[in-house]
Amino acid sequence: MPDVFADLVGQDEAVAELRRAAAAAAAVLRAGAADREPALIAAGPASGADAAPGDVDPSTGMTHAWIFTGPPGSGRSVAARAFAAALQCAYGTGCGECPGCHTTMGGTHADVRMVVPEGLSIGVGEMRALVLRAASTPSGGRWQVVVIEDADRLTEAAGNALLKAIEEPPPRTVFLLCAPSTHPDDVSVTIRSRCRVVPLRQPPAAAVAEVLVRRDGIAPDVAQWAAAAAQGHVGRARRLARDPEARKRREAVLAVPRRLTGVGAAFDAASALIEAAEAEAEASVAESDTAERAALETALGAGGTGRGAAGAMRGAAGQLKELEKRQKSRATRAQRDALDRALVDLAGFYRDALTMTLRAPVAPVHTDTAALAGAGAQKWDAEGSLRRLEAVLACRAAIEANVKPRIAVEAMMLALWKG
Ligand SMILES: [Zn+2]
């Protein structure tokens, strides 16, 4: 296995900072072994983004709470997991070879917990249980690491439970939060003030293409196209490069602008967009749903006979129901995510039209529909392109604010048609 940071694409600065911190953390452990009282530099309300130069640069030290921010697909959770591995690394700062690195990357390290909300939010019950476990002594003798993916989906109560733990962290506990940004909508100001922020950028297309070629064995020309079309989203680039169905769904989304010939067509386009997102979501969760169900059934001994088995099956019905509930809420979230990605694709099209009208010296997002965007650019003036781009962004915002997706998408299609 290569170095644990190998999959973090185009984030050299962040990786350098995380390595320094992991080295500092290892030094704390060594000092602790002599001293029995390891201490981390706590991130006070004033520290964070811009550390002042001084005798001790706090940005090179280790601290208890971190926030990884960046646009979707930039690798927030990849960075958090790699950093967790670096903290558990026995030989360096994420060698990728030792048991600490291996088990963390494989998701089986006893002292690393990844919290992935499967519903639309992380509840207070889940958070309290987590905080409690995080306070225990690390069994591997290093750090208890809790990674919270999508920390922006914490409920307010869950956020408060987390804040308490971050304010008075157990000496060997490290919290790694992932969120789109440090905007108060994503992370509360008080949590933000206690964390060091690691901003990730949208990786450049060339870096994404490089990793698709190197790691996934994808042909260079396909990798380049997919990296550009995915707009810096590494996972999506991989799916576009590998999955013909994903490419078809993207084409359907980008066909929307030329299909908008009237009111009826606008409503049809709305239905098509929503159905495409549903299909995309279904494809993304189908595999794990089936695997989970099979694993649970095996664990419950489905198909067994005898008195013990009958009693077990009564309990099993409850567990299966619980699993179905969890899977349903994950499916809802997957649908929202897929619809959002479709809207980002569509926004990319109108952005291309706008930059062409303005003759801006930037490469188009969608090279394969550049001609179509060019035709749009001729027909609409810059304002018309901008209004359409704004209609797409308003639709994203409306869905984010819990407007029913179909209603928001229909309103958007009408706005795109009217221009
Ligand atoms: Zn290692």
pLDDT at 365 (0 to 100): 84
The pLDDT tens digits for 346-372 are: 999 999 999 999 998 888 888 888 899
Inter-residue long-range contacts of 45-49, CB under 8 Å, 24+ positions, other chains counted: 45/193, 45/194, 47/196, 48/192, 48/193, 48/195, 48/196, 48/197, 49/197, 49/199
**Percentage of residues in the chain with pLDDT exceeding 90?**
43
Q: Which residues contact 64 (CB under 8 A, 6 or more apart)?
A: 40, 42, 43, 166, 169, 173, 174, 175
Instruction: Say how many Å lie between the CA of residue 171 and the centre of ligand 1.
Output: 22
The pLDDT tens digits for 106-116 are: 888 999 998 87
In angstroms, the CA 374 to CA 56 distance is: 54
**Percentage of residues in the chain with pLDDT exceeding 70?**
88
Tell me the CB-side half-sphere exposure of residue 71, using CA atoms within 13 A: 14
What residue spans of 301-404 are helical by DSSP H? Answer: 307-357, 370-379, 382-400
pLDDT at 301 (0 to 100): 65
Instruction: Say how many Å lie between the CA of residue 280 and the centre of ligand 1.
Output: 36
Instruction: Say how many Å lie between the CA of residue 84 and the centre of ligand 1.
Output: 11
Does the predicted model carry a pTM greater than 0.95? no
Q: What is the mean pLDDT of the chain?
A: 85
Instruction: Say how many Å lie between the CA of residue 81 and the centre of ligand 1.
Output: 13
In angstroms, the CA 122 to CA 115 distance is: 9
Instruction: Say how many Å lie between the CA of residue 108 and the centre of ligand 1.
Output: 14
Beta partners for 122?
154
Instruction: Say how many Å lie between the CA of residue 223 and the centre of ligand 1.
Output: 30
In angstroms, the CA 398 to CA 402 distance is: 6
Split at pLDDT 50, 70, 90, the class of 35 is low
Instruction: Say how many Å lie between the CA of residue 29 and the centre of ligand 1.
Output: 15
Indicate whether 86 pLDDT > 60: yes
Instruction: Say how many Å lie between the CA of residue 21 and the centre of ligand 1.
Output: 15
Indicate whether 196 pLDDT > 50: yes
Indicate whether 384 pLDDT > 90: yes
pLDDT at 314 (0 to 100): 61
Q: Which residues contact 234 (CB under 8 A, 6 or more apart)?
A: 9, 73, 74, 75, 78, 203, 208, 211
Indicate whether 174 pLDDT > 80: yes
Indicate whether 305 pLDDT > 60: no
In angstroms, the CA 108 to CA 56 distance is: 36
Strand boundaries in 38-180, DSSP class E: 65-69, 112-115, 144-148, 173-179
Instruction: Say how many Å lie between the CA of residue 87 and the centre of ligand 1.
Output: 9
Higher-scoring residue by pLDDT: 37, 340: 340
